[in-house]
Amino acid sequence: MKKSSGCRSFPLSEGVEVEWAWGNEALQNVDWTELDHFYATERAYSVFLDTRMIRALLSSPERPLAILRWRRAGRLIGVAAVEDTCAESVGLEAHISSERPWFRWVNRMLHGKDNRFQFQVRVVGTVLGSGTHDQVWASDVNENHARRWLNETIFETIQLNGKSSPRVVMVKDDPILDHQPRRVKHPGWIPLEFDPEMLLHLDPEWKDIESYKAAMKTKGRTKINRILAISDTLEMKAWDLGEIEQQGHKLIALYQQIYERSGFRLGSLHHREFVESKRAWGDDFVVNGFYLVGQLVGFQCAYVGVEETEAFFVGFDPEFIKTHAIYQRMLVEFIRIGLERGSKRVNMGRTALEIKSSVGALPRRLQCEVRFKNRLFHEVVRRYTRGYDPVQPVMRQPWKQDAYPPKAHLELHSA
C-alpha cells in the first residue's frame, strides 16, 4: 500500500472550515500543542486521540490515517481521527443472532462460498481502538451541528492511501445506555452493534492486587489465585525500544495467532506501530513479553493515559490458555498496571467477554453507524442489519454486593 501525504481545507455550512492533514505533512504542519490544549480544555482524555497516538500512527507507512480539525472564525471547535482500512467478516453467524428466517440466506449470499465478506471502509476513529474516541467537539457545539459538519466532511475524495477513497464510512463507537435498543444518531446512517467493550473501574482505595481481590466474592478470589498459581512458571519481562525495534516481528507473529481467530476484523497491527508508540509514549506504552523456559510464548501491550489504562493487544499460542492460563494472567497484569499507575479504569476491549468478566470487567454496549455511498447497497445492508443482534455472552459476577466496580459502572451508564 502506498501511503500518500497532504493537507487540504474545505468550507462547510455556517462559516465552518474543515482541515484534513495526513502523512508526513500532518506530522510537520499540525500544531500538536494546540490539540493538547483543546483536549485539556474539553477534558477529553482518550488514549486513541492523544497526540502521541496520532503521531505514532501517522508515522506508520501501513496506516492511511488523517487528523481532521474543524474551525469557525479560526477557532478550533472539533477534532477527529479518520482511517481507511479493509473490513472483513469471517463466519459471522457464530457471533450474531436473528429470529428472521431470511437472515441466514442473506448472510450466506453476502459472505459467499469462502464465508468471507470484505469491503474498504473509511472509519471515523482509529481502527484498532474500542470505545468513545472517534471525535471531540467544543462544549459550545451542539450535537446536531457536529453531525451536520461531519456529514459534510466525511465523503470528500481524499486518497489517504494514494490510490482510492472508500465509498463506505463507519463512525465508531457510541455507548448504548443499558437495556436500550441501538438507534440512528446520524440521520440516514445504519446503526450497528457488535460485542460490548469490557471495562473495570478501579477503586481509588485499592493499592495492589490483594486489595482488588478483597472486593471479590470467595469464588472470584479463588479464580484469581488459581490463575496466578497456574501461570507461575511464566516469566514476565518488559521490552524497551531497542528490543521492539529488533524483535518486534516476533510480537506480530504471536498477535496474528489471535487475530486469525476473530469473526470480524477491522484493520491489523504492524511492527512499525509498536516502534513509534514506544518512541512517542515511552514508559506510558507498556510492552511485556511472557517466557516459558526462556522461550517467548506471548506478549501484552497497554497505553497508560491520563485517566485510563488501555489494554491494547495480546499475542500467544492458544494452547497455553489451558496449560498455563496465559491469557487470564495477562488480564490480571493489565489490572496491576492500572493500579500501579493510578488509573481510574482499565479498558479491556471487546473480545473474550466471559473470561474478562471472570476477572471483574463489566460490559459497556457500543454502537457504530455506517453509510454506503451506493444507495442500493446501503438499502440492502440497512434491511439486512435490522435482522440481527450480537450473541449475548455469559457473564461472570465475581464482585461482592457493595464492591466499587459495579457501582461506578452503573453511574457511568445512568440516563
Number of domains in the chain: 2
Other beta carbons less than 10 A from residue 206's beta carbon: 18
Is residue 371 domain-shared with residue 359, that is, in the same domain? Answer: no
CA dihedral 139, 142, 147, 148 (to 10 degrees): -120
Is residue 141 domain-shared with residue 213, that is, in the same domain? Answer: no
Q: CA neighbours within 13 Å on the CB side: how many for 178?
A: 9
Is residue 178 domain-shared with residue 209, that is, in the same domain? Answer: no
Residue 259 to residues 13, 269, 362: CA-CA distances in angstroms?
42, 9, 23
Count how many residues are written for the chain.
415
CATH number at residue 184: 3.40.630
The answer as to whether 112 is a domain residue is yes
pLDDT at 155 over 80: yes
Question: For 230-352, where are the E strands, in sequence order?
Answer: 235-238, 264-266, 285-292, 295-304, 308-316, 345-347
DSSP state of 216: B
The answer as to whether 251 is a domain residue is yes
Q: For residues 77 and 138, is the Cβ–Cβ distance under 8 A? A: yes
| Confidence grade of residue 294 (pLDDT, cut at 50, 70, 90) | very high
Beta pairing partners, 288: 238, 300
| Confidence grade of residue 381 (pLDDT, cut at 50, 70, 90) | confident
Task: Round to whole Å and give the CA distance between 346 and 177.
Answer: 20
Is residue 178 domain-shared with residue 216, that is, in the same domain? Answer: no
The answer as to whether 324 is a domain residue is yes
Strand, coil or helix: what is 233? coil
Is residue 187 domain-shared with residue 98, that is, in the same domain? Answer: yes
154's grid cell: 466525511
The per-residue DSSP string of 253-277 comes to: HHHHHHHTT-SEEE----HHHHHHH
Burial of 81 (0-12, 13-18, 19+ CB in 10 A): buried
The answer as to whether 240 is a domain residue is yes
| Confidence grade of residue 390 (pLDDT, cut at 50, 70, 90) | confident
Is residue 242 domain-shared with residue 270, that is, in the same domain? Answer: yes
- Among residues 399, 407, 374, 32, the alpha carbon closest in space to that of 217 is found at 399
- Rounded to 10 deg, the angle between the 271-281 and 51-58 helix axes is 140
Is residue 175 domain-shared with residue 259, that is, in the same domain? Answer: no
- Mean pLDDT, residues 119-142: 91
What is the per-residue pLDDT for 414?
57
The answer as to whether 1 is a domain residue is no
Is residue 25 domain-shared with residue 84, that is, in the same domain? Answer: yes
The answer as to whether 220 is a domain residue is yes
pTM of the predicted protein model = 0.91
Question: pLDDT tens digits for 156-213?
Answer: 989 998 888 899 999 988 888 877 888 888 889 999 988 899 999 999 999 999 999 9
Range of the domain at 290: 198-363+395-413
What is the per-residue pLDDT for 111?
57
CATH number at residue 337: 3.40.630.30
Question: pLDDT tens digits for 338-361?
Answer: 999 999 999 999 888 999 999 999
Q: For residues 155 and 100, is the Cβ–Cβ distance under 8 A? A: no
Strands 308-316 and 6-11: unpaired
The answer as to whether 18 is a domain residue is yes
What is the per-residue pLDDT for 152?
95
Is residue 208 domain-shared with residue 167, that is, in the same domain? Answer: no
Task: Round to whole Å and give the CA distance between 75 and 270.
Answer: 35
The answer as to whether 13 is a domain residue is yes
Q: For residues 66 and 105, is the Cβ–Cβ distance under 8 A? A: no
Is residue 139 domain-shared with residue 157, that is, in the same domain? Answer: yes
Q: For residues 168 and 119, is the Cβ–Cβ distance under 8 A? A: yes
Is residue 234 domain-shared with residue 202, that is, in the same domain? Answer: yes
Is residue 64 domain-shared with residue 156, that is, in the same domain? Answer: yes
Q: For residues 363 and 351, is the Cβ–Cβ distance under 8 A? A: no
